[in-house]
Structure 1
Amino acid sequence: MSFEPGQVITRRYRRAARYTWVQPMRVISDDETGLLLWHPAGSDFARLIDADGNTQHELPVDQMRDPKLVVRAWQDYDILVLMPPGASHSVWWFFRNGEFDSWYVNLEDPYVRMPDGVDTADLVLDIVVDPQRRWEWKDVEEFDLRIGNPLYFDADQAADIRAEGERVVKLIEAGDFPFDGTHTGFRPEPGWPELRLPKA
């Protein structure tokens, strides 16, 4: 099952039986390099927020009080997201005012195709990469705090997650695909609208 260019699908993160992040995205391509998706600023996304205003960054899901998906507008950046097949990460290109700004590596489970989109699980640890390919880890403290939580990962799994990040770092430092300038000049089709989540 492949998706067609121009099709709008939903990209979702799961944690146990709960969705924690839901984002409509436009398919750019779906081929051997991966599923390439577009999400412009101003579009909808939904994230899990609890009754006290906490997100998953503040608390693990099992400690959130009455969490619900809350729809927000994506701000500041247009994003292009590549989900390589079978990989435990995605690569994001951030664009500000139409110009490439930076890369972002989101460590996550290999995605599973669904009829209306893809499901994955966020693995907390991330990598931020500037246009000169200088990089740094992101959310390290949060990642360390989640180790041992049964809804997240144990110490061995955490080591595998970090090792996946280190494999991507080698690509970054070598300037290999997808950090070789590919897609940095991407421009959306004129007239593509902001993307909306279906009303509940």
Structure 2
Amino acid sequence: MPFAPNQMVVRRYVRAGRTTFAKPMRVVRDDADGLLLWMPVGTEVAQLTDHDGSTLHDRPLHEMKEPSLVRRKWRHWSILVLMPPGAAYSVWWFFSAEGAFGGWYVNLETPFTRRPEGVDTTDLVLDVVVSPDRSWEWKDEDEFAAAVGAPDYFDAATAGAIRAEGERLIELAKAGAFPFDGAYTDFRPDPAAAQLIGEIIPPLQ
């Protein structure tokens, strides 16, 4: 059953049966083209963090000693996130606090599954940053290389498929094809959705 416009949901990353990131977001639309979500800068999110303040960007999950979910504010950019059905990625549109478009972000991830209160996916570590002029660069390549063969991550063959999907999205960006064709770059949320989402993440375990 689709989510309703302006409904608040939680987009979660999960790995090895535990939540690694939780973002409360508002639904813009949910239809055959995908789930489109909005989260303004300043929203409280929860990120898996080790006892020394390190995150999964610093070390893989199996090397963490005492990880727990820590609440913090989402900084820098408001984001509009498109999750196409069955896709191994999401595309994010970045907006400044004043509403200026700042570029795209391709987050490589497993196809999402639904829960009554939101959606789950597993982050595949490698990402692509696309500037407004459609120049691009890989992000987190070192972290991606370190994850290959690590417990709870992926083998070399799967890593090759993940990179190939990123390369396919890069070609779309270079061609100015959807979702890099200017769609949503002038997006403005409904006034209700523009407000900070507030406390909808459930108590952290």
Is residue 150 of structure 1 aligned with residue 151 of structure 2?
Answer: yes
Structure 2: unaligned runs, 5 residues or longer: none
Q: How far is 1:91 from its partner?
A: 0.2
Instruction: For 2:138 and 2:192, locate their aligned partners in 1 and report how far apart those are by CA, in whole Å.
Output: 36
SS of residue paired to 1:93: strand
Instruction: Name the amino acid aligned to 2:25.
Output: M
Counterpart in 1 of 2:196?
194
Q: How far is 1:198 from its partner?
A: 3.7
Instruction: Name the amino acid aligned to 1:116.
Output: E
Counterpart in 1 of 2:133?
132
Instruction: For 2:58 and 2:85, locate their aligned partners in 1 and report how far apart those are by CA, in whole Å.
Output: 30
Q: How far is 1:191 from its partner?
A: 4.0
Is residue 49 of structure 1 aligned with residue 49 of structure 2?
Answer: yes
Instruction: For 1:33 and 1:191, locate their aligned partners in 2 and report how far apart those are by CA, in whole Å.
Output: 23
Could you list the structure 1 runs, at least 4 aligned residues long, displaced by more than 6 angstroms after superposition: none
The TM-score, its normalising length taken from structure 2, stands at 0.95
Alignment size in residue pairs? 200
Counterpart in 2 of 1:33?
33
Provide the alpha-carbon RMSD of the alignment: 0.9
Q: Deviations over 1:11-54 (max 9, x none)?
A: 00001111000010000011122100000011111100010111
Is residue 61 of structure 1 aligned with residue 61 of structure 2?
Answer: yes
The TM-score, its normalising length taken from structure 1, stands at 0.98
Give the 5 Å matches for 1:1-200: 1-96=1-96, 97-192=98-193, 193-196=195-198, 197-198=200-201, 200=203
**Cα gap change, 1:137 to 1:6, in 2 (>3 Å):** same
**Cα gap change, 1:99 to 1:107, in 2 (>3 Å):** same
The 8 Å contact of residues 62 and 151 in structure 2, kept in 1 or not, is answered as no
